[in-house]
Structure 1
């Protein structure tokens, strides 16, 4: 896209996101993320029903009356968007490409974080880290994130999620809410994902195009691997080829969901032509 097209797309995504962020959605988003810990607030006299473990015995001895420590939850969170920008994300046959859906979902999540007075950051990855925006607050941060996503040119590379997780663990020390957006055609990453999930709250958002579920019968087709650039002729009229493709793809879907479940992380499937606001809302509500 040209600079003018990028700015136009940013404006459209911004308007669309703000228009669809209603109080119900923000309420569910807020309820999902409970904060990262407890901070000391004040001392007050012991009251019937208080947990005796909260009594500050030093202060109690000093003031000659039982005093308890009151703690408040740390509400401010940090959200990190991890987005796969490898070649397979540059595909779509319905409403839009997978990477465009990823950009819109990222905008919704980023604006939700800002509305919740949280920080939001971005990591774009393929077989390396393509871009990193440290977490900050404010609408300008969201616009910067959207522009960075849209500015990334089509990358004919595979995705290395393990490398991305290593980078995140070294960079983001405090507990954060991680949204990992990809089509998850990215090899073995279970071990690293489980390590990440122990430290952070992780949600996988898998973007797919419906034609990937059931390959259409269009005769002989010259297909290109978007990650390697390899070309290959395939007879899509061959029923056994289509069935084998569908079987392998659905197997990959199940494996991906099982990996996230095993690691204690959340997971959502979203099609490029699907109402992603509804899917996100239902997910937040269910997790809460």
Structure 2
């Protein structure tokens, strides 16, 4: 079984290739991409030519007879949620890495990045319900404790429901947050919650894909097991109608996810690529653009 130390070692390799994703030298890039969305009142000062009229404090202006404007500072501190699918299907990996290993590695990189930057990190592990929740807290010790739970979890035989997880977050949160939703997204029924949550938060959907599931392999009659309910079925994988139905359903699920207007990252278990430069952490307000680091690879 993968240990937390192994994941941290892998995350450090990713740091190097990403030019310091978890390094304070790139804290400026991190802060720009994950900047706090709220503002706090800071002070009053006299109006200067070019100041926005809407920033004028009319009460102070009326009291003193001179125009004054309000000054604000950005709330830098950010709450980051790592929402991780822990159903049995996440344990699957046909070639290189299992989806569970990649989900844990992604969670390690992101949570330690946030912790080193002074942000509060919360964790939600979900199936068709919330399996574990840790309130957002600061510090690497907090992150390491929860990451150990993720590594050692016993996957429940249940169908994944990202929508229930997002509803849970939206009911608890008091202000806009950054949410990383990690799953294979092999299913449906969560699209509406994902749309609503992405409007209220900065949400990145991270899909972990295994190539063996994109198309059904032709292997004759075989028993297949649904990892989310432990039921086995006899299937003729050479049957063209079964092949077509499988591909059609798989494509439908993928299109449902792709059509949702929210930043996404697509990560494959089969190759060395960890971060897809074309999709990683796009600015939801401009439809894509900002990257944290560059494309990274396992070494």
Q: SS state of the match for residue 66, structure 2?
A: coil
CA distance in 2, matches of 1:173, 1:167: 12
Select between 99-108 and 157-166 the one with higher mean Cα deviation.
157-166
CA deviation profile, 1:182-203 (whole Å, cap 9, x unmatched): 1112431233233323322222
Please name the residue that 1:134 is paired with. 135
User: Which residue number in structure 2 is paired with residue 231 of structure 1?
Assistant: 232
With structure 1 as the length reference, what TM-score do the two structures score?
A: 0.86
1:17 touches 1:104 (CA, 8 Å); kept in 2? no
Shift of the alpha carbon at 1:20? 4.5
Q: Is the 1:161–1:186 Cα contact (8 Å) retained in structure 2?
A: no
Q: Could you tell me how far apart the structure 1 residues matched to 2:113 and 2:4 are?
A: 21
1:266 and 2:267 correspond = no
**Is the 1:122–1:134 Cα contact (8 Å) retained in structure 2?**
yes
Q: How does 1:240-259 map to 2 (within 5 A)?
A: 240-258=241-259
Which residue of the partner structure matches residue 177 of structure 2? 176
Deviations 1:59-100 (A, max 9, x none): 234444322111122121111011111121121102111111
Q: Give the Cα–Cα distance (whole angstroms) in 1 for the partners of residues 27 and 245 of structure 2.
A: 42
Question: Which deviates more from structure 2 when the two are superposed, residues 83-92 or residues 109-118?
Answer: 109-118
Separation of aligned partners in 1, 2:251 and 2:27: 32
Identify the match of residue 9 of structure 2 among 3, 8, 12. 12
Would you tell me which structure has more helix in proportion to its own residues? 1
Task: Tell which deviates more after alignment, 272-281 or 242-251.
Answer: 272-281
The Cα shift of 1:133 comes to 1.2
Cα deviation, 1:112-151, whole Å, max 9, x if unaligned, reads 2223321111000112211111111122122123212101
Aligned partners of 1:84 and 1:159 also within 8 Å: yes
Q: What number of residue pairs does the alignment pair up?
A: 281
The two structures have a TM-score, normalised by structure 2, of 0.83
Residue in structure 1 matched with residue 275 of structure 2 by the alignment: 277
TM-superposed CA distance for 1:35, in Å, is 1.5
Residue 265 of structure 2 contacts residue 279 of structure 2 at CA under 8 Å; is this kept in 1? Answer: no
Aligned 8 A contact 1:10 1:147 in 2: no
Partner SS, residue 282 of structure 2: helix
Ranges in structure 1 where 5+ consecutive residues have no aligned partner: none
Question: Is the 1:18–1:111 Cα contact (8 Å) retained in structure 2?
Answer: no
Q: For residues 27 and 176 of structure 1, what CA distance do their matches in structure 2 show? A: 19
> Cα offset for 1:257?
1.6
Q: Is the 8 A contact 2:4 2:151 kept in 1?
A: no
Q: CA distance change for structure 1 residues 112 and 220 in 2, over 3 Å: closer, same or farther?
A: same
Provide closer, same or farther for how the CA distance between residues 280 and 226 of structure 1 changes in structure 2, counting only shifts above 3 A: farther
Unaligned runs of 5+ in 2: 291-299
Partner of 2:296: none
* Partner Cα separation in structure 1 for residue 119 and residue 289 of structure 2: 19
Per-residue deviation, residues 166-189 of structure 1 (Å, max 9, x unmatched):
322232222111111111124312
Q: Encode CA deviations 1:241-287: one digit per residue, 9 max, x unaligned.
A: 334322321221111222x22xxx22232212342234487443734
